Amino acid sequence: MQYKFYNFAANLSHVILKLIIMDIINTELPGLKIIVPKVFGDARGYFFESYNENVMAGAGIKIVFRQDNQSFSKYGVIRGLHFQLNPYSQTKLIRVLEGTIYDVVLDLRKGSPTFGKWFGLELSAENKRQVYIPQGFAHGFSVLSEQTIILYKCDNFYHPQSEGGVLFNDPALGIDWKIDAGKAIISDKDKMLPTFDRVETNFDYHA
């Protein structure tokens, strides 16, 4: 019995240690979370865990990520708002390796108390914050620094036939991308996306 008690105490200490490795913060959009890692720095540099499956599971995030993507963009680029329809919808975990972006997430889940609402925050290599985006959201970002490199994990593979999107400058959404209109760089494809009231989705909200 003493051995089992000691083993339990050791496991408990391990769990407590893991819980302080990162803070997982809820947002006003249900399911959307901000992840703030604990950074250990000294004269040599720094170390932090950017992803820990056990910690995520303890916060209710039980996802198997299947694909990592990396993108490079210059100042003024606006990408989005993008999504993939079910059954190829993607959960994403976004972080910035270089530079700064303004990250925007739009709730497309029918029945959600925040359906049609958006949330934005700055992600940077300096603040090391990440955003966890469940399935059923559209995602986009603008580049605020001279250049940026973004890494994001996905729980489903890219499926071009299931691609969808919402127009980045839809007046009904009123998103401030923090880029002067004359300096914005947008792809022709993104300029042709439908407004929110005309977009077709198949996402349902599950509390």
The answer to whether residue 96 is domain-embedded is yes
Can you give the pLDDT at residue 9?
39
CATH number at residue 70: 2.60.120.10
Instruction: Calculate the CA 102 to chain-centre distance.
Output: 11
Mean pLDDT for each consecutive 10-residue tract of the chain (207 residues)?
Answer: 36 45 91 93 90 86 94 97 97 98 98 97 97 97 98 96 97 96 95 97 92
Indicate which residues carry an active-site annotation.
82, 152
pTM reported for the whole predicted model: 0.87
CA angle centred on 69, ends 55 and 161, rounded to 5°: 115
Can you give the pLDDT at residue 59?
83
The answer to whether residue 3 is domain-embedded is no
Q: How many domains does the chain have?
A: 1
